[in-house]
């Protein structure tokens, strides 16, 4: 888009899709915003009076809000940590010339194709079940008492399940990035006397920084709204131990039929997501430039 002529043309042609997207986003957002100021409960139909910021006050001062806020941060942070660490390791492994590499790559990708509800059910009933689960059998075989994952470490269990789903995504993005690394740089490092660790730290890791940034940004957006895994496994419990913001909004608006309170929670979630996005872009966004 070099000339002013082509710039104008580009804007003109982008116009319809931008309008459509805006409408698509703005209409629900405005409706949510509107509901969040109303006393709107489905159990008590009637006047739907305007009550100002009361819904927000209730939502933000609810102890469940703080619990779920920190749970959300732990969930996102934990999954990011595991998927990035594991993803880098897997990507390096998959980049080696091993026999049957193509099949291994497809198998590694498989978890990404499984629906969140299904994978959560598989983990819940086949792996983490304290009586019949594989882990429980393994623990008894070792002579230890099996862990009741969803009662004892509910949030960590969910982190493990979600990490399992997102690991392939991270590994795939990082693998393509590793493959675009100029092999002559590694050869040069070999001649310069760099060992495997130096090569990883000084050459591979800086090369991956862009892909790592992309993985963090994309995963964060999706991980902020984890829902199905929680619903299927712990239903947010015990107590609020595995409730995140998304799940809290669900319990507020759907389980308590409080549309107004749920809407206020939704708006809070949008604001939190934006704060996180701005924070992330400031922190690591510069990696995506140049």
Whichever of 117 and 185 has its CB closer to other proteins, that residue is: 185
C-beta separation of 167 from 90 below 8 A: yes
Beta bridge partners of 250: none
Q: What is the DSSP letter of 53?
A: T
Q: How far is the CB of 203 from other proteins (least distance, A)?
A: 6
Whichever of 125 and 198 has its CB closer to other proteins, that residue is: 198
Q: How far is the CB of 92 from other proteins (least distance, A)?
A: 18
CA distance 158 to 231: 11
Whichever of 57 and 187 has its CB closer to other proteins, that residue is: 187
Whichever of 57 and 192 has its CB closer to other proteins, that residue is: 192
E-only strand ranges, the chain = none
Q: How far is the CB of 95 from other proteins (least distance, A)?
A: 17
Closest CA to 231 of 154, 156, 288: 154
CA-CA-CA-CA dihedral for 278, 279, 280, 286, to nearest 10: 80
C-beta separation of 159 from 234 below 8 A: no
Q: How far is the CB of 204 from other proteins (least distance, A)?
A: 11
Q: Is the bond preceding residue 143 a cis peptide, omega within 30 degrees?
A: no
Q: How far is the CB of 194 from other proteins (least distance, A)?
A: 5
b/e map 21-36, b = 16+ CB within 10 Å: eeeeeeeeeeebeebb
Site residues (CB under 8 A) for other proteins?
A: 182, 184-185, 187-194, 198, 202-203, 206-207, 209, 290
Whichever of 208 and 269 has its CB closer to other proteins, that residue is: 208
């Amino acid at each position: 888009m070099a000339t002013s002529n082509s710039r104008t043309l580009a804007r003109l042609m982008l116009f319809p899709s931008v309008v459509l997207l805006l409408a698509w986003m703005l209409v629900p957002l405005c409706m949510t915003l509107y509901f969040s100021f109303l006393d709107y409960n489905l159990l008590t139909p009637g006047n739907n009076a305007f009550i100002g910021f009361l819904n927000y006050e209730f939502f933000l001062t609810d102890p469940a809000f703080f619990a779920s806020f920190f749970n959300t941060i732990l969930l996102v942070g934990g999954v990011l940590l595991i998927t990035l660490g594991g993803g880098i390791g897997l990507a390096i492994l998959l980049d080696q010339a091993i026999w049957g590499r193509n099949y291994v790559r497809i198998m590694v990708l498989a978890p990404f194709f499984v629906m969140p509800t299904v994978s959560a059910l598989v983990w819940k009933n086949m792996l983490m079940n304290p009586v019949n689960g594989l882990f429980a059998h393994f623990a008894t075989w070792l002579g230890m008492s099996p862990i009741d994952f969803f009662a004892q470490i509910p949030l960590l269990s969910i982190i493990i399940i979600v990490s399992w789903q997102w690991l392939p995504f991270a590994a795939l993005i990082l693998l393509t990035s590793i493959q675009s690394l100029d092999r002559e740089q590694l050869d040069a490092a070999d001649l310069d006397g760099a060992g495997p660790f130096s090569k990883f730290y000084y050459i591979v890791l800086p090369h991956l920084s862009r892909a790592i940034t992309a993985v963090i940004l994309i995963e964060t957006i999706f991980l902020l709204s984890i829902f199905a895994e929680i619903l299927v496994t712990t239903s947010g419990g015990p107590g609020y131990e595995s409730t995140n913001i998304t799940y809290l909004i669900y319990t507020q608006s759907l389980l308590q039929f409080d549309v107004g309170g749920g809407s206020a929670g939704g708006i809070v979630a949008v604001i939190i997501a934006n704060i996180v996005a701005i924070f992330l872009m400031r922190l690591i966004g510069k990696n995506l430039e140049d």
